[in-house]
Amino acid sequence: MSVFPVILSQEKFIHRDSLKFPLEERALQFGDGIYEVIRIYNGTYYLFDEHIDRLFRSTEAIKIKLSHSKEEIKNLLLELLERNNMAENGKVYMQISRGSAPRDHVFPTNVEPNIYAYVQAVPRNLVTLKNGVGVITHRDIRWENCYIKSLNLLPNVMAKQEAKEQGCYEAILHKDGVVTECSSSNVYLVKDGKIYTHPTTRNILHGCVRMAIERFVTDLNIPLIEEPFMLDDIANADELFLSSSTSEITPIITVDGSPVKDGMPGEITRKLQAAYEKDANIIENLIANA
């Protein structure tokens, strides 16, 4: 798999091995920063504006003052692809922290945010997209501002690890039985031809793939009801699926070891996967080849 050696550091393009962080860096010491992950198909960013808008919502929410405009950040990310001759499927990770300063909880003054971004090759996971995945359920013990794409991911990391240890792909998070989202994706339940998912409150991340799904359902004439569903509703669900930039739209076929309906990916999930592939101009087509 290709390695892309050029990374973005502040406004410079440097070799990935030459990135150095000072000892006192606020992302390292406080998780005081935010990030974005943007999917790339055949060397082109997918849902680029949605991600850049969310990046700015996150920096504003935690009062990081960026001296760049959205257009400038986009241009830097586009140049990153060019400099790496990136023409395949992958993703970019971009991180912005409050900056480097002597350790103190209070915001430092006159400090520039630290920005970096790098590109990775990521093939589409055709096996999980076609066959679906198993998930566990897990208490959502995160803070009250999950709409911010913050670097503080410890509860998400713990939940995902628990899923992995139980041979599963993801963890569905719930607060007292109310399903919020997954550890690194949004989650949806289908019942009687309607899709249910948690409203975009402060308790979940408004996923960029979810924003795309909100468009697809209008074209497909499928009702999307932004009401939370309960863990107890899963036993009677027709379909369950999750969405994220890395996982696209992935069918969920078991929850805590029990099959969802007949344990097969459902019809509405398949329609949304097809809409996704069309929207992202994906060349190798999962649905056509299924």
Active-site residue, 20 included: no
Q: Which of 170, 181, 239, 277 binds ligand PLP (CB under 6 A)?
A: 181
Are residues 7 and 114 in contact, defined by beta-carbon separation less than 8 angstroms? no
Contacts of 30 (CB under 8 A, 6+ apart): 98, 105
The nearer residue to ligand PLP, 9 or 244, going by C-beta atoms, is 244
Classify 105 as helix, strand or coil. Answer: coil
Min dist. Cβ of residue 290 to ligand PLP (A):
22
58 binds ligand PLP (CB under 6 A): no
C-beta closer to ligand PLP: residue 6 or 204: 204
CA distances 10 to 66, 119, 141, Å, are: 11, 15, 34
SS3 content of the chain, % helix, strand, coil (to 5): 30, 30, 40
Contact characters 206-245, ligand PLP, x per CB under 6 A? -xxxx--------------------------------xxx
Distance CA 147, CA 242 (A): 17
- Contact at 8 Å (CB) between 95 and 26? no
- Cα dihedral 146, 277, 231, 224, rounded to 10, equals 90
**For ligand PLP, the closer CB: 114 or 184:** 184
Helix spans in the chain (H): 26-30, 48-61, 70-83, 126-131, 154-165, 208-220, 267-279, 286-289
The residue of the chain with the least Cβ separation from ligand PLP equals 207
Contacts of residue 198, Cβ cutoff 8 Å, sequence gap at least 6: 178, 179, 180, 181, 186, 187, 204, 226, 227, 228, 229
Do residues 77 and 46 make contact, with C-beta atoms less than 8 angstroms apart? no
Q: Is 185 in the site for ligand PLP (CB under 6 A)?
A: yes
Q: Does 180 bind ligand PLP (CB under 6 A)?
A: no
Is 274 a binder of ligand PLP (CB under 6 A)?
no
Site for ligand PLP in 153-172 (CB under 6 A): 156
Residue 273 touches ligand PLP, criterion: CB under 6 A: no
Residue 61 CB, nearest approach to ligand PLP (Å): 15
Minimum distance between the CB of residue 111 and ligand PLP, rounded to whole angstroms? 27
**In this chain, which of 186, 203, 250, 273 binds ligand PLP, going by CB under 6 A?**
186
Q: Assess 252 for contact with ligand PLP (CB under 6 A).
A: no
Q: Which is nearer to ligand PLP, 138 or 210 (CB)?
A: 210
Give me the catalytic one of 63, 74, 149, 278: 149
Residue 198's φ and ψ, nearest 5 degrees, are -60, 135
Q: Are 172 and 159 in contact (CB under 8 A)?
A: no
Residue nearer to ligand PLP on the CB measure, 210 or 270:
210
Residues noted as catalytic: 149
- Which residues sit at the interface with ligand PLP, rule CB under 6 A? 37, 156, 181, 184-186, 205, 207-210, 243-245
